[in-house]
Every structure is written in structure tokens, then in C-alpha cells.
Structure 1
Amino acid sequence: MINALQFLRQVVIISLLFVLVGCAPLTTSPDKNDTNVVGQRKVIALVPDAQATEGMRAAGLSGGYQLLDVTDLAGLDLTMLTFRMPDGITGPQAIAALEAAVPTSTVGINHAYRLQQSSSAAQELDYANAMMRWRTDGCRAQVPVGVIDTGIDTTSPALDGARIVTRAFFEGRAAPAAHGTDVASVLANPSRLKDVTIYGANVFGQQDALGLKAGADALVRALDWLAEEDVRFVNLALAGPYNKLLDLAVERSVDRGLILVAAVGNDGPNVDPLYPAGFDGVIAVTAVDADGRIYRNAVRGPHVDIAAPGVDILVPSGGSVRFVTGTSIATPLITARLAADPTLANARSVSDVRKRLAATSAELGRSGRDPVYGHGLALAEDICGD
């Protein structure tokens, strides 16, 4: 608990910062038309202990912020406080003031993350299993896996062989469950991965003119849940801008031994890395077609780790099938390959996973790791543990 002198110091610091930061450029602050933000007037703080929590409460109160929520993130050893910013205060001003008041905090705005998949009209053969050299009768899952996505339709016939535990991490109505169901169906296809338990974290309850979007706060909550459940591999078929709240949550998740597998994104070859795939501690997955050519919209860069089929992938849909394309649909193929591998069942280091993927991949680009294909095409040959 802070004493009266500490509280007074915080009030003075916040007041000075509001004056000083008011002269800074406002180009990074969210506004009502910013489609890359969920809840434009929200600012979120992650703090490490009870003293910092009380300090942040006091700092928010003295600055005129409305405290909307306090969440204990026991899986990440953090507490998350969500505030509504006062009118006239920008995102950068709020971040600077609150972090100065509580130096151990990480404060940020609620960036949006979007799914990385699109429908395809092409009618290619189901080539993914043969290309990755999966055993014809599939492999048994060695560990549970997590899926951070939309909801999952647990009644889908394609998921009959999987045990699915779901939980939602958003406010309001749920988004359609098609994308999460597609990802889970690719992951749990018994011709690839059998007897798998999936922890489905639904983070999509928002939609705008560009489609579905999930807030960074929802991703942080989902990672906390999966860390508490001790889920080993986590599939993230979504991408968005850098966010330091997510950065901290990813860092804590990796420290807890979670292996995060994320789509590099579909924004094209000439953009900066998207996140969470752009974080050092995350396995970044790109997509190729049946001929091993890179998906034309895949993000490229030195962070790319591995490639999997992701162009015109056959996905069960009700009583029929359809074909989808994107780095989203390549990602669960990598997650399934990792979950089937008994040599990775106890893996707690992303470097160990990278070494294993590098040793069991086929070159697609230049020799060694490259910014287009990473280590090349992931192979599932002779990895089954049963």
C-alpha cells in the first residue's frame, strides 16, 4: 500500500507529464476511426505485484481515469487494470503518465488482431498430408494444445475425435465460429493428429468494416488461462501491430514453457513483421502452395521460422468441404506436427523446437534459413510416438 507522500509524488508526476506530453505529436494516439484499436478510449496496465496494483489504482484516480476492470492473471504472475481515459487525454499521454507513476508497470492501448485466412474458389486435391509426409493413419497427440481464435463449433463432425474445452475472453456477442472451427478441424484431423485435447480460447467478439478483430487484452487473458492449464503448444492464427502489453504476456508465457506458434500474416511481402509472429519467442509460420511456392500475400522477414501448406487447403464444412487459403491455415499444420512429436513432449524452450523443425524440414529457398521460407517445409515423416 502506498503512503501519503508516495501518493502526492505520483499526483505531481502525472500533472507534470500531462503538461509536457501535450506538446508531443499525436499521430500514435487512437481515435474513433482507428480500426487497429479495440475500445479507442481504453488504456491497459499490466503490473507485477500488489503494491504496483494499488499504486496504479491511485494514479488512475488522481488523473481522472475511470477504472473499468481489474483482472488477476495468475498464470502470468501479473495483474491487468483497464481504465477509460479522460476526455482530452491521448493514448501516448496516458501511457507516459501512468508508467511514470508506477515504474514497474507496462501500459498500452488495446491494439486489434485479425484472422489471417480467406476463402478460395480453387478446387485442388487435398495435398497437405502427402506434402508434409504424414503417416497415413495419423499420429497420436503427445500433449494438449491451445487455440487462440474465434469460438469452435464443438458439434462439428470434423471434431468428433477431439476433446475440446472452450472459454471466452471478450465483452458482448461472440463472433461467428467459422475460423476457429476451421483451424481446429485442420489441427485435429485424425489423418494427422488423433486423440487430441484442444483448449479453445475465444477472443473474437468485435467486428468493424474490415471484419473481425480481437483486442490485445483478450489475447493477454487467453495466454494467462492457457499458462494456468499448462498447455504446451498454442496456435495463434491471427496477426496485428506491435503491442507492449502482448509483448510482456508472450514473454511471461514463454518463461512458463509455452511454445507459441503464430501465422506471419497475409499483408504481403513488403511490410514490417506482424505480431505475435514477430516476437523472438514465437514460432513464425508462413504458407506455400502444392508446388512449394510461397503464398504471394505472406509476410516475409528474418523472423520467419518454417513453412507449411496454406494455399487451397481442404477443410470440412458441415456436410461438405471447402478450400481456404492463408497463413492462418498453415499454422495448425505446424502445431499438429509439434504436438505429435514425442521428442518435443517435454520441450520448454522455443530454441529446442526451432532446432527440431530445422532438422526435419525440406529446403525450399536458398540453403539455410531465409526470410521467405524460414527453414523450409516442415515434414512429419517418422515423428509418431505410437
Structure 2
Amino acid sequence: MAAKAVVLHAAMLAATFVGAPAVAQTNDPNLSQKQIDCLSRTTAAGADCDKDGGGQSGAGNAVGGAVFLPSLIVDLFPNPPARPTPAPTQPAPPKSPTSSAAPAPPPSGPITPPTGLNLAAPPRAVSGEFVPDEVLVTVAGDAGAVQRIATTLGLQVRSQRQSRLLGTTLVRYGIPDGRPVGVVLAQLAADGRTQRREPNHIYSLQQAAGIVNYAFERIALDSKQASGENVRIAVIDTGIDDTNPALKGVIAGQFDAMPNVPIKKRDHGTSVDGLIAGVGALEGIAPGAKIYHARAFEGGKSSMDVILSALDWAAEQDVRIINMSFVGPKNDLLGTACRNARALGMVLVAAAGNNGPKAPYGYPAAFDGVIAVTATDAKDGLMPQANRGAYVFLSAPGVEMVAPSGTGSDVVTGTSFAAAIVSGAIANLIHAAPDRSADDIEKALAATAKDLGPKGRDNDFGYGLLDIKAAAAAKE
């Protein structure tokens, strides 16, 4: 697939995370050391956080050591998102089954940042939404090397684990003294013990406010013949209502990448899983498929660190498809993880984004090797709020569809749900021909899509509307 242009995407702001303009740094000097400790979930602060969390209950505060994020179901359109009130928080560090080294203990006393640190390059302006007092770094070395870097640069080791998809140790360093993230990244770049250095970017689920599921007809799939039986699909999303009748027997495994954050909303993830493989009255596109669900979002938000943990877990489940119905800024760590997952034979499907025709590109959809899906309605019209750009690969139904939710069922709209339709359709292809490779599937989808809009591939519809019947025949 042709290389996609690199354009940064600013996700919808939320009250619990501090957003950063494309040319600005964001750091909040008002955080107390106790609040920092609570957010980083250090052992020393655990008892006090459990008592009062360092704040009052409600969205955007830590209570009982858990971070409360704003409501998930948000009416994104037609009104623009409200500007957030700065209140930096960070989802709890995931407990990865692949961890080989326990996180280093928290510092025993105040950290005094060293003076005279070298900079490998001028501090960069960090684009997109990110956690203002953290950076993600890959390190070649053991726990001792990780701690030595922290000591040298006056940082805190908030978590560390061995990442399968990155092939190295991923460390989440805290910045306790208020230095801008760009400055710390430049200081880390001058340290030869580090490999990659990135902000801990924030990503947002892609659901628009919203009748019968017309998707089967529009993508040329006979609902009576649809099957994804035993095809393994990973979904990275919110928590789910696994008691919903539409998900009975559908969920083969679950992983919570943010176990210290209480689950408050289950709608988005339940809808995505149901559209892919739901059973009963709300039958999905690929009945019989096995969903491996990783919870990595609350309040519609997650961080790069949490998402990478979920991706590593998904890679260990021997899945054929990974559905990523979320959008955020370009991040090299995420790009590497996606590239390596594709190299392992997984088909990656992602929402193109719901932020309008003038929005920057949305990631992970805009990475090479990821099928970026936009949303169309029952008449094959483009969802007005959809992102546009050369990275858009395929169109699929995603406007006003009935789907299971945390409250039973709901009418849903967004590129999130169009991505789910494509994931389910690909499961049908794999069920019919298990030997089809990710490259073969991608080429077949592009070659057989029903052209919409300007002739050929365009920035609105990509190659056009998914035609699963034609894609299946393309193998023959």
C-alpha cells in the first residue's frame, strides 16, 4: 500500500486530560507531590490515595487511587467540543502478562533535577494531546539501567515492562519537577542508553451521537450465510457488558489494561463487539467469531502506554484481526507496534476519525499497513463529520445503526462502528479461506470496493464502499 502522508491529528479534548496545541507544551505546576504519587500509584502513596485519593469524587479526580474520566457517550456533533479545564490525569499503568521486571521502587525522597544536562537537539514542540508530566522511552538494558537513567535525568520510574511488539523494555518516566515534555525528550535523546523517546499521547474513541442495521445489504453480504466461525479478533476499546444477550458465547478472553480505573461506561466496546460478532436479534457481521477484548479506555480516553499494553496482549492471543476504533496523534511507538503486528500476519483495522473534513490525519489509521475506515449511511453518503485524507482506505456503513450497548441496545454513528463492520467482513473472508494473508486481503478489498465520489481512490471514500462478495470472489 502506498505510503500515507504524515499529518498530525488532534483528538477531541476531554476534561481529564490536558491538551496541547500543535506548537505548544503543556505542564501543570499546580500538582502536589501527593497528587503526583497518587497518579503514579506508588506504594508509598497507596494508603493515603485509598482514603481520599488526593481529591474529591467526580469526573477528572482520583478517588481511591483510581482516575475518574468523563462520560463516554458524547454528542460530538454538530457542536464543537468544549475547551477542557486543565486537570492532568493518567490512566493506571497496565499489568502486562509479558512483564519480565517489576517496576523500580519510587524514590525515597524528593528528586532534585541535575543541572547542566546535555540536549541532543533543541526542545521540540509536542503536537497532539499528551500526559503533561510523563514520557515513554524504550531502553536496551535491565531494571538497573532503567533506574540509572532516571537518576541521571531526575525522573521517576512509574512503570516498566517488556513489550513483545516493540521488542524491548518500555519505560514510563515521570517528570516531577515541571520540565516541559519536549525538553525532557531532548535530554533523553542525548543519553545513549535510550532507543526511542515519545510523549505519552492521548487517544480518543470515535463515536458520534446518533435504524435497523442495513450494513449486510450495503456491503453485499448475505446475513444467512455470514460467518466468522472461530476466527480470532482482538478489540481494543472500553469495558463491555458481557451479560448482554448479543455477546453470549462471543467473548473468548478479556484483558484489563487499566485495572485501577473503575469501569463506568460499557457502551462503546459492547457496540463494537456486537457489530462484529453479535448473536440473536442483534446479529453481527461475523457470527461465530471469537472476540478477545482488551479494555483500554474509560471516558472515551486512553494513553499510549495503556494502548501499547493492550496491543501486546492482543498479539499474544494469536488473533488474525485487531480492531482499533480510536484516534490520536502520530506516535512512533504505536507505528512500530502496528508495523510489527502486521509483520506477524495480523490484519489491522482502524477508524479514520470523526473530527471533520479539515482535521489532521488520525492515527493509528494513517499508518502504513492499517486499513483506515470511514463511515457511510444507508444511501452510501459520507458521514459529514468524517476525517478526510489520502490515508482513508475504505468506506463502510457507520451511520445510525442499531447495536448492542451497555444499556441493552442503541443507535450508533461513527467511524468506530464502520471499522467494526470491516473487521467482521474480513473475518468472513478468513473463515472462507483461512490461508489468505493480510496483504492479499488488503489488495482484494481495494480492488473490489464500489467506487464512490470522484473516480478512483479519493480522500473522502478511499477506494470506495466495501463489497465483501466481490472481495471473496477475488481469491478464486
1:28 to 108, 122, 126: 126
Q: Distance in 1 between matches of 2:261 and 2:223?
A: 43
| CA displacement at 1:368 relative to structure 2 | 2.0
| CA displacement at 1:142 relative to structure 2 | 5.3
Tell me if 1:163 matches 2:256: no
SS in 2 for 1:42: strand
| CA displacement at 1:291 relative to structure 2 | 0.9
The residue number in structure 1 matching 2:209 is 119
1:202 to 295, 302, 320: 295
Aligned amino acid, residue 97 of structure 1: Q
Does structure 2 retain, via aligned residues, the 8 Å contact 1:76–1:253?
no
Does structure 1 retain, via aligned residues, the 8 Å contact 2:252–2:292?
yes
| CA displacement at 1:189 relative to structure 2 | 2.9
Deviates more, 1:223-232 or 1:276-285: 223-232
Q: Distance in 1 between matches of 2:157 and 2:115?
A: 16
Does structure 2 retain, via aligned residues, the 8 Å contact 1:56–1:98?
no
The residue number in structure 1 matching 2:55 is none
Matched pairs, number: 353
Does structure 1 retain, via aligned residues, the 8 Å contact 2:365–2:372?
yes
| CA displacement at 1:58 relative to structure 2 | 1.8
Q: Normalising to structure 2: TM-score of the pair?
A: 0.69
The residue number in structure 1 matching 2:340 is 252
Q: Distance in 1 between matches of 2:268 and 2:182?
A: 33
The residue number in structure 1 matching 2:181 is 91
SS in 2 for 1:378: coil
Tell me if 1:377 matches 2:446: no
Note the 1:172-321 alignment, pairs <5 A: 172-190=261-279, 191=283, 192-205=285-298, 207=299, 212-317=300-405, 321=409
1:131 to 211, 218, 222: 218
SS in 2 for 1:96: helix
Tell me if 1:69 matches 2:159: yes
Q: Distance in 2 between matches of 1:344 and 1:247?
A: 28
Aligned amino acid, residue 222 of structure 1: A
Q: Distance in 1 between matches of 2:193 and 2:324?
A: 30
Q: Distance in 1 between matches of 2:404 and 2:240?
A: 13
The residue number in structure 2 matching 1:50 is 141
SS in 2 for 1:118: coil
Aligned amino acid, residue 331 of structure 1: A
Deviates more, 1:111-120 or 1:170-179: 170-179
Q: Distance in 2 between matches of 1:203 and 1:60?
A: 27
Tell me if 1:78 matches 2:179: no
The residue number in structure 2 matching 1:5 is none
Deviates more, 1:107-116 or 1:137-146: 137-146
SS in 1 for 2:360: coil
1:134-177 C-alpha deviation (Å, 9 max, x unpaired): 11312233520000000121111111241331111124223411
| CA displacement at 1:302 relative to structure 2 | 0.7
The residue number in structure 1 matching 2:41 is none
1:167-207 C-alpha deviation (Å, 9 max, x unpaired): 111242234111000100100134421211111011014x4
| CA displacement at 1:55 relative to structure 2 | 4.0
Does structure 1 retain, via aligned residues, the 8 Å contact 2:240–2:406?
no
Aligned amino acid, residue 169 of structure 2: T
Q: Distance in 1 between matches of 2:251 and 2:155?
A: 43
Q: Distance in 1 between matches of 2:401 and 2:168?
A: 39
5+ long unaligned stretches in structure 2: 1-113
| CA displacement at 1:244 relative to structure 2 | 1.9
Structure with the bigger percentage of strand: 1
Q: Distance in 1 between matches of 2:197 and 2:421?
A: 34
Q: CA RMSD in A?
A: 2.6
Does structure 1 retain, via aligned residues, the 8 Å contact 2:375–2:382?
yes
| CA displacement at 1:220 relative to structure 2 | 0.7
Q: Distance in 1 between matches of 2:463 and 2:456?
A: 6
Tell me: CA distance 1:378–1:61, structure 2 relative to 1, closer, same or farther (3 Å): same
